[in-house]
Structures are given as C-alpha cells and as structure tokens.
Amino acid sequence: MIKILIVEDEEAIANLIRMNLVKSGYQCEIASDGEEAADAIAERPFDLILLDIMLPKLNGYEVLEYAKTVDVPVIFLTAMGETDQKVKGLKLGAEDYIAKPFEIAELLARVETVLRRYHKTERRIRILDIEIDTDSRTVTQNGREVDLTIKEFDLLLLFVRNKNRALYRETIYENVWGGEYSGTGRTVDLHVQRLKKKLGLEEHITAIYKVGYRFAV
C-alpha cells in the first residue's frame, strides 16, 4: 500500500488531505512541524511527501533537502502562490506544487501523476471486468480491446480514480478538458454517454440530478 506523509501545521488542512487520500486508498501519516517530518522521514519509508512551506521549527525547504537524501518525491503545498516560491521549490527538487486553496480532485490527480512517474502505482488498473493500461493507454474488457478516444480514456481514468465519489460536471470538465467550465455545454454529458455505452457501464455510472456523475463499484 502506498504511504504518504503529510507535513502541514494547519490541523484542518492536514486532516482534510488525509481524509481524502485515505478514501482514495492511500495510507497517510501527518507531521505538524519540520522536525517531526524529518524524524518520520528518517524512521519510516514513504512513497510521497506533501510538504507545506511555512512550517514551525524547520521550514519546508529544509525538510525538502532532507527528503532528497532518501529519494522520496515531494509535492509542495504553498499558500503563497507566488512564482518565485514555486520556482524555488521546483529548483530544489520538488516534483510538483499545489497552491492553496486547492480542489480535492486536483490534489488527487497530482498525487497520482507523481506516483505514476515514480512507478509507485500499478501500471495496470483492474476494475470490474475492465483492465486499463495507463502506459499504453489501452482498455480491454473481457480480453477484448475497446477503442476509446483520448477524452473518453481520460474520463474513464477520472471515474476510476474517484470511484464512489460524486464528480461535478465542472470538476470533470476542468480535469479532462482543462480550462473554465461554462456550465451550459453538453460536452461532458455526451462523452459520459458514449463511455457508458462502449463499456456497458450503464449501471455503474449514474447521473446525480443537477450535480454530475458518480462511478459506483
């Protein structure tokens, strides 16, 4: 199981991240200051560290220096959002950064991306009778390959990663298509319909009135 260390001195945010990561199937630990984080990194192996910059005792940059010695990917959580802070973090060797305030779906997507880059996640995802190869971007169902467009594939991945979670149309749009959701287009609905039809997921992907869709397993 993948273990993630959350280094965040704001209890509310730390809990929020942990709650969502746990729901997505990760194992989490919280460190509320720099020293605690360094101790945890030294004692236990982690697959990923989510690191706040403004921390008591040791700041995020110092913890990052330490984390590099054990070769753990780090994602910065930054409230500052200013370019030079991001650049500094990335230069020091962080894999990515997430600016507060962030959306949960965005957090999960970035975590997933970094983990995949480090080959920490399964290349192949099996769910129901579907097998997804994230590297070759192919989908097979009962041994038969299903032809999906790029957007349909991304949509499927989003549903799978957020299973049992209600996905709002805007969240779906922002994650798959990128950019601001206008709230009027039928793009999302159309693609969801086609995906359901191609994979026979009519029972599992359900529309939620006025909200969006949920992939229930």
Partner 1 sequence: MPGPKTEEVSLPAGHKGGCIVMKLSWKIFFITTPLFVLFLTLFGTWIVQKSFQSNLTREIESCLMENEMFQTSYELTLNGMSSGQRKKTSVRAVVEPFHQAMDSTLGCARIYDDARKVLYQDNELTVSHRIWEELEKAASVQAVGENSEDARSDQSAGERSGNGKTEDAPSVQSTGEDGGADGVLPQSVGHAQQTSDASAGTYNVGRQIVRQDGEYYVAVLARSSSGVWFETLHNVSSVFEDRDDIYSSYQVGMLLVAFFSGLFTLLALLLVMRNTQKLSSATRRFAMGRYDTRVSIRSDDEIGRLADDFNWMANVMNRQMEQLQDDVRRQEEFTSAFAHELKTPLTSIIGYAETMRSMDLTKEESDMCADYIYRQGKRLQSLSYKLLEMAMADQYQMIYRNVPVKELFDEAAKTMEMAFREKHLVLLVEQDDGYILGDRVLLSSLLFNLLDNARKASSDGGRIWLTGRAMAGGGYSITVEDEGKGIPPEELNRITEAFYMVDKSRSRKEGGAGLGLALCKKILELHEGSWQMVSEPGKGMRVVVLLGAPAANGNARRRPRRARRRQGTGGGGTMDDPVREERTPRSTME
For binding to partner 1 (CB under 8 A), which residues are involved?
A: 9-13, 15-17, 19-20, 23, 32, 54, 56, 79-82, 84, 100-105, 164-168, 171, 211
Task: Give dist(CA 100, CA 84) in Å, integer.
Answer: 15
Cβ proximity to partner 1: between 27 and 164 the closer is: 164
Shortest CB 118 distance to partner 1, Å: 25
Angle at the Cα of 25 from the Cα atoms of 32 and 33, rounded to 5 degrees:
5
CA 121/CA 114 separation, integer angstroms: 9
Strand partners, 133: 124, 138
Question: What are the beta bridge partners of residue 63?
Answer: none
Kindly state the smallest distance separating residue 158's Cβ from partner 1, in Å: 13
Residue 119 C-beta: closest distance to partner 1, Å: 28
Least spacing, CB of residue 106 vs partner 1, in Å: 10
Which of 55, 115 has the CB closer to partner 1? 55
Q: How many other CB atoms are there within 10 angstroms of residue 166's CB atom? A: 14
Q: Which is nearer to partner 1, 100 or 123 (CB)?
A: 100
Q: Which is nearer to partner 1, 67 or 172 (CB)?
A: 172
How far, in Å, CA of 203 to CA of 153, rounded?
Answer: 19
